Structure 1
């Protein structure tokens, strides 16, 4: 059996972009698991809020957000942060809501950077997110969404601009 150049060329980007999606998901799963194991909660959000008020590297818009939104809801943020990270990881590894998950990934990482919470994984995670956002069809080619689309005619008949978000 021979493989045409066209199908080989199409399979490489799908594999590469799919691998980027799964790697991004794995990094989010590690972040969420780390926070769960460490007992991340409202006290940790308190450190972020305090840092936003006293750290000159934190932009004013984030200091305002931390004081007016995060401070009154610190318990929610303490619970929701590891939950969001874990949910992003699961969605990306499985390939469910791939483009939306990658977009939320970028926004979350920008929020972390604004809080001056930068670790080495974050730039890598943004780069992987951008790859998934830029090539959404290739990112979801090997995913639960693609399998469901092949099995369910309702998803297949959805307009392409809608399908790329799954």
Structure 2
């Protein structure tokens, strides 16, 4: 086996993790859009944060001071964020920032005691992409565009 083969296997593994994570975010965002997710949903999360002993104090403060008063804004932004994360990860664009935002978003959801079955899987996939970002973006749109630009440049050299 050549030295290149393990690198390719790692790149395929990390790319699959990235694409599956992106697909899960697209599913989450699409589900929220179809369900009419909005201010009322965010309001419920904010209202439930204060009396919930499983919610850390920092999130209870955030929910009371920011999330609740801006429920309308968050009701629009959350599904859009999920769709943007999904699109970026599936396409392989801004892979490292998208994986970091993915993990941060999941931690925010966990802090609000909103845990669903997919979130631990999504956190593990986010970690894979964060640990091996180069491998995860090797077969992405950004890498493809860079290869195309480099081969176009090399024709003139």
Superposed pair shares fold, TM > 0.5: yes
Mapping 1:117-156, distance limit 5 Å = 117-153=114-150
Give the total of aligned pairs.
150
2:28 aligns with: 31
Q: Distance in 1 between matches of 2:67 and 2:96?
A: 27
Gaps of at least 5 residues in structure 1 are 154-166
In the TM superposition, what is the alpha-carbon distance from 1:151 to its structure 2 partner?
2.3
- Matched with 2:14 is 17
> Per-residue CA shift, 1:61-110, capped at 9, x if unaligned?
00000111112211000000000000000000000000000000000000
Q: TM-score, normalised by structure 1?
A: 0.88
Counterparts of 1:1-166 in structure 2, within 5 Å, are: 5-153=2-150
CA RMSD across the alignment: 0.9
TM-score normalised to structure 2 length? 0.93
Alpha-carbon separation, structure 2, partners of 1:79 and 1:51 = 20
What secondary structure does 2:116 align onto? coil
Moved over 6 A (4+): none
Superimposed CA distance per residue, residues 14-43 of structure 1 (whole angstroms, 9 cap, x where no aligned partner): 000000000000000000011011100000
Q: Is the 8 A contact 2:47 2:68 kept in 1?
A: no
Partner of 1:158: none
Q: Which deviations, in whole Å up to 9, do the C-alpha atoms of 1:134-162 show, x marking residues without a partner? A: 10110001000101111235xxxxxxxxx
Distance 1:152 1:123 in 2: 38
